[in-house]
Amino acid sequence: MQNKTIAKRTAALLLALLMAVGIFAGCSKGGGNGEKRSVTVTVTHKDGSTKDFTYETTEEMLGAVLQKEGLIEGEDSQYGLFVKAVDGYTADEGSQEWWCLTVNGETAMTGIDSTPIEEGKSYGLVLTVGY
């Protein structure tokens, strides 16, 4: 009788362990949680020159990886992160300079911290003059 109890407990413990391993394995593969992805951002400077920055990240949003890597600096606003500096250059607000985020060559419809990193899309930060 005691051997059956030990066998049942051992089987239950093994089943629970296998389920836990299955759950963790599923989390690491699906839905973008923890999934590594590559993102390239092209920075267009005031003189028109461009420079590409490529990062491998598990972040889901563009702003998070660019802040973490030190490419951008900004301040939080009611609309999200307002980018003030990119690649060491701070936009001169007095000259109406600002950093424009582009996705696939078009002005982004979302802020940098709410723009998802998606495979096959190109991202840019363009120093723009004039409001």
What pLDDT score does 9 carry? Answer: 53
Contact status, residue 106 vs residue 115, Cβ threshold 8 Å: no
What pLDDT score does 18 carry? Answer: 38
Residue 35 binned pLDDT confidence (cut-offs 50, 70, 90): confident
The structure's pTM equals 0.72
Domain that holds residue 117: 37-129
Count structural domains, the chain: 2
What is the pLDDT of the chain when averaged over all its residues?
82
Asked if 25 and 43 sit in the same domain, the reply is no
For the stretch 81-128, pLDDT in tens is 999 999 999 999 999 999 999 999 999 999 999 999 999 999 999 999
Q: In whole angstroms, what is the distance from residue 65 CA to residue 117 CA? A: 9
CATH of the domain at 104: 2.170.130.30
Count of C-beta atoms within a 10 Å radius of residue 53: 17
